[in-house]
Structure 1
Amino acid sequence: MNPIPLFPLSRALYPDGILHLRVFEIRYLDMIKQCIADQSEFGVVPLLAGSEVRTPEGKEILADFGTMAKIAAWEAPMPGLLQLRCVGGTRFRLVSSEQRKYGLWVGQVEPQADDPPVPIPDFLQPSANTLGQLIAELQQNSVPETDMAIAAPFRLDECGWVAYRWAELLPLLPPQQRHLLADGNPQSRLTQVQDILKRRKLLGD
């Protein structure tokens, strides 16, 4: 299996998540142009250390789990700049990685199984209810769908989907993001997220 190009970010991308990117570094411009031409995907991995923008003294440490990103829309407002709207696909485990020309990361990945549709038990319902209220507020404020951080269909009855959407909205540390990506149990993942929401007093009535 050929290695895939990687895009390390301070924020994780999760399955069915929306990612807006401004691409201006040489290492990513060439890679993204190739993905657009081939209609291929690239991998997004959380940065455990280092900066998103390459620096001479910086050392990037990548998490060992990530998510495939599909380019849903793009535009080039000026030379040397691409603006992307990406959608999260399959989770993967990063088996190995290396840096190539201009510092571009590539890696061998092992796809992870998609979440089964696990219904939300009663004790986790507050997480889904509060997320539903947030989505309703965005819709009532006429936020365009392309600008929303959460994309339809809204699967508020599934543990995995609700957990991932909260993981995108909460200010989680890189190790927490990595841990949620690695957890293949949707109910376990939502339980962890609801604990964070409780501690931050973010749950509605």
Structure 2
Amino acid sequence: MTTAALTVDSTKPLPLFPLRTVLFPGGRVTLKVFEARYLDLISSCLRERQPFGVVCLLQGSEVRQAGAATRFESTGVLAQLVEVDAIGAGVLKVRCTGGQRFQWASVHEGSDGLWSAQGLVLLPNDEAQAPGERFDDAVQALQRAYAAISQRPDADLPDEHHFDDAGWVANRWCELLPVPMAARQQLMALPDPLQRLALVDEFLRGKQLI
């Protein structure tokens, strides 16, 4: 099934899905869900028409392990359910798109192992800004990369392309580039989209990719 765009009530606890990845606004993530806590989470989000939060793991496993410590980043991204399909008994394939960034003040682990965040602060969306001539090479290289990726049978690119928006271009490059997870997290959390794109452009030039 496919869902429409949703909003979140920042005064209520936000259920979290810690992952060893960084979700960016406008990005995509596909999850194979089989743990009871996350099956319940997906069912609840569908029923209540609410997103959940994706946060990058600093310590611990995506799969619950008794007695294992879990730590994750304090800045995450709201995940909007796009498509939910049953692919087996008690197994769901879930496709999500990234929405607004958020920060949390505190987190709580329920008896079922599901984490939730309190004291939610929704961060401003990137202000639409043209990349400008300075970043023409980065924009054109991304267009070429997307043209190549779109030919793959497993391609899962955003439905809408905004090559005229600096934040969107920076975010899509951040998803593609082979940078450490900590650096990817820092880039996602940067409030200035032009600064984010400048760092991406510097990396691309340093690796002679543009």
TM-score (norm. length: structure 1): 0.90
* 2:159 maps to amino acid: A
Q: Counterparts of 1:76-155 in structure 2 under 5 Å?
A: 76-108=86-118, 109-139=120-150, 141=151, 143=152, 147-155=154-162
Any stretches of 5+ residues in structure 1 without a counterpart?
none
Counterparts of 1:29 and 1:5 in 2: how far apart (Å)?
12
- Show CA shifts across 1:4-34 (max 9, x none): 1001111111111111110111221111111
Measured in 1, the distance between the counterparts of 2:112 and 2:23 equals 23
2:5 corresponds in structure 1 to: none
Secondary structure of residue in 2 paired with 1:98:
strand
In structure 2, distance between residues paired with 1:106 and 1:149: 28
The SS at the match of 1:12 is coil
1:135-178 Cα shifts (integer Å, max 9, x gaps): 12234x2x56xx53321321111110011111111233232122
Report the AA paired with residue 35 of structure 2: E
Equivalent AA in structure 2 for residue 36 of structure 1: L
The partner residue of 1:19 within 11, 29, 51 is 29
- Runs ≥4 in structure 1, deviation > 4 angstroms? none
Moved more, 44-53 or 156-165: 44-53
Cα–Cα, structure 1 residues 199 and 4, in superposed 2: closer, same or farther, change >3 Å?
Answer: same
Deviations 1:87-141 (A, max 9, x none): 11111112211111222110022101111111112222221111100112234x2
The residue type equivalent to 2:122 in the other structure is P
Aligned to 1:29: 39
CA displacement at 1:57 relative to structure 2: 4.6
1:157 aligns with 2:164: yes
Number of equivalenced pairs? 199
Higher mean alpha-carbon deviation, 113-122 vs 165-174, is at 165-174
CA RMSD, 1 decimal: 1.6
Q: Distance in 2 between matches of 1:166 and 1:34?
A: 33
Amino acid at match of 1:8: P
Task: Tell me, in whole angstroms, the C-alpha distance in 2 between the residues paired with 1:123 and 1:29.
Answer: 46
| 1:202 match | 209
What is the TM-score when the length of structure 2 is the normalising length? 0.88
Partners of 1:150 and 1:46 in 2: CA distance: 21
Matched letter for residue 60 of structure 1: T
Residue 178 of structure 1 aligns with which residue?
185
Identity %: 35
Decide which moves more: 168-177 or 150-159. Answer: 168-177
User: Unaligned regions of 5+ residues in structure 2, if any?
Assistant: 1-10
Alignment partner of 1:75 is 2:82: no
| 1:10 aligned partner | 20
- Greater helix fraction, Structure 1 or Structure 2: 1
For 1:94 and 1:175, the matched residues in 2 are separated by 18
Moved more, 160-169 or 57-66: 57-66
